[in-house]
Structure 1
């Protein structure tokens, strides 16, 4: 009895397993299909991203500048030096020996102030002797005049006394003028920049004696400009003055422009007045950038961005994600920038970096 029952149970189990097998396979198939759909979606997404990356990789990186109107100037650049309006080497008017020095280097002096005294002993004695004679002649003249006023004496006596007095006055005046020439005076107000005289030194008229007076409150820049710019540089032109040794930069105007071309240097002198500044010193180097052209509403691009062919010059601009070649006409060039006369307009985005290998129509990335 036990064996038949066991056999029947085993048969029922096998029959049940055999009926579940198709259901399991169907479920597995459905699961695989779902996984395939998910994989396909991921594959499509990655392919799209790879395609986009490849497309972007083909774009060329560039840097652009958007054009707008601005002032543009070109310059004539020359080197000059700082000079004093009043820079004087003092010279004696008469020969003599130095007996006293009343000024020293760095001292401020006024116009007419005595700087040096020359030996005038003989002249002073002559002045004193002549003064005595004049005093006597004056007394004689006054007495003769009183007598003449009373109709006493002759007219000849009166005129003789008057002539002697006036003659001595003229002699004394001339002698005092000669004596005054033995005092070396400052011709200007300023600072003693050099004083190389020594006591006992002999000096001669018209010869430098080592005294220089400088008025540092009135300075200017002097420069020589080539005759090529004779028609471009004029008095009143704007100029940028650079003093590298200070350093300092300032804007001014040309205060003087010579009308004559020097036959040796083939240039002409210009001057620019400087404001008072304690740091400015005569003979400092100065760089002048004289404005010879101005356009207040110019379109300007870097010179390096302009390319040239045999028949034209051109730039690339960025337009709708692509490089576009545009023929232009340039004008003046200054400080690495060029004025654009035609071909571009305000708002154009000129490619200033990365244009070297571009062709018209290439894709670009800003």
Structure 2
């Protein structure tokens, strides 16, 4: 190929250079064609989730506590005299009848004391008879002017003194009889006698040594406490509903029969007591789960626990489906009932609360929702609490 310059001088282009120019031109044409194409956009498939349509309801706010059962007429059986325990006449933990012998304390010293008292009574009775005879004789002599007034008065006084001594001796005999009777300790009423707190051969002291406890399992009460913070400004009366559950989740019918009108300054708690109305296998001393209705909450929402997420700062949130996107909602929760949280604020009727795949959801994530209906199952012990007897000492 030959080219001409302005001065008509011919130029010669070599073959390799011509090949290079052709390649560059082709590359420019290719580049121009590529710039006309738009980059591909990567699409994310919506995450399939299950949602629950939030509906307002009225729910009871229950306060939780752990109470202890006790006999309605629990009696502490104590020794009324001092002596050595000789016999335990009942089987521990079994029912006993009123008047049934439970313990026998060494009777020999008290039998001897009674015999001595009886002898003293006989002696004082004889002395009184003699003094009365002397008084009557001196009365006759005084009437006949055979003795002085002083002798007559002394005889009458001696009879009075002998009469008083006899009354004192009879009182001592009665006291000895009572002490002897106290050596046989009987059940003051029907009930269940607990274990013996004293061993055979031990010295028991009058009015000090407790021998056992007698309770009435068929008339049980449950004593429990609630914190001042939980009660807040609520007015608790005997009409507040109460629910009792044995350690295995069985509900027991009960009713409040005592509400303390003061706060324990050391524990900041109030003491309450409920009477058990239904038949139960709960025994005195056993722990019982207690729920007390503080108030009824209106326009609140029951949301399954797994849908409510707690942040590190202690606040709570849920995800709701809004036009196919997952959006976070801050919520305020109260207590939880069975398997649900009671949500107080943050939701409105019809909100579709996301129940699953929460670990994969981010703010604004596209979701494909399937609406489900709530399933309410009555828990044996609401709130999932089960009393573990191995932890009782920690309470």
Q: Is the TM-score greater than 0.5?
A: yes
- Whether contact under 8 Å (1:235, 1:255) holds in the other structure is no
- Whether contact under 8 Å (2:252, 2:280) holds in the other structure is no
CA distance in structure 2 between the partners assigned to 1:114 and 1:134 by the alignment: 37
**1:310-362 deviation per Cα after TM superposition (whole angstroms, max 9, x unaligned):** 9995642577xx458585753523244132446412x5544433563573885
1:126 maps onto 2:129 in alignment? no
- Whether contact under 8 Å (1:331, 1:341) holds in the other structure is yes
CA distance in structure 1 between the partners assigned to 2:131 and 2:207 by the alignment: 42
Q: 2:332 aligns with which of 330, 333, 337?
A: 330
The equivalent of 1:75 in structure 2 is 62
The equivalent of 1:203 in structure 2 is 204
Please identify, of 135-144 and 180-189, the stretch whose mean Cα deviation from structure 2 is larger: 135-144
- Whether contact under 8 Å (1:303, 1:338) holds in the other structure is no
The equivalent of 2:188 in structure 1 is 188
The equivalent of 1:109 in structure 2 is 97
Q: Higher helix fraction: Structure 1 or Structure 2? A: 1
Distance 1:242 1:308, change over 3 A: closer
**1:247-291 deviation per Cα after TM superposition (whole angstroms, max 9, x unaligned):** 52235344334424253x554544333246462112223222333
Q: After superposition, where does 1:34-53 map in structure 2 within 5 Å? A: none
Q: Report the TM-score, using the length of structure 2 for normalisation.
A: 0.59
The equivalent of 2:243 in structure 1 is 240
The equivalent of 2:175 in structure 1 is 177
**1:157-199 deviation per Cα after TM superposition (whole angstroms, max 9, x unaligned):** 5565345324422442244224413424346312332347677
1:364 maps onto 2:351 in alignment? no
Deviation of 1:128 (Å)? 1.4
Q: After superposition, where does 1:295-334 map in structure 2 within 5 Å? A: 295-306=297-308, 315-317=319-321, 322=324, 325=327, 330-334=332-336
SS of 1:194 mapped into structure 2: coil
Q: After superposition, where does 1:16-35 map in structure 2 within 5 Å? A: none
- Whether contact under 8 Å (1:238, 1:251) holds in the other structure is no
The equivalent of 2:348 in structure 1 is 344
CA distance in structure 1 between the partners assigned to 2:298 and 2:253 by the alignment: 17
The equivalent of 1:283 in structure 2 is 285
**1:100-122 deviation per Cα after TM superposition (whole angstroms, max 9, x unaligned):** 66545435132696742432122
The equivalent of 2:79 in structure 1 is 92
SS of 2:104 mapped into structure 1: strand
1:212 maps onto 2:213 in alignment? yes
Q: Greater Rg, structure 1 or structure 2?
A: 1
CA distance in structure 2 between the partners assigned to 1:338 and 1:80 by the alignment: 24
Distance 1:99 1:169, change over 3 A: farther
SS of 1:359 mapped into structure 2: coil
Distance 1:318 1:149, change over 3 A: farther
- Whether contact under 8 Å (1:66, 1:348) holds in the other structure is yes
Deviation of 1:85 (Å)? 3.6
The equivalent of 1:294 in structure 2 is 296
CA distance in structure 2 between the partners assigned to 1:149 and 1:252 by the alignment: 77
- Whether contact under 8 Å (1:328, 1:340) holds in the other structure is no
- Whether contact under 8 Å (1:62, 1:364) holds in the other structure is yes
SS of 1:255 mapped into structure 2: strand
- Whether contact under 8 Å (2:259, 2:271) holds in the other structure is yes
Deviation of 1:299 (Å)? 3.0
Aligned residue pairs: how many? 306
Q: Report the TM-score, using the length of structure 1 for normalisation.
A: 0.63
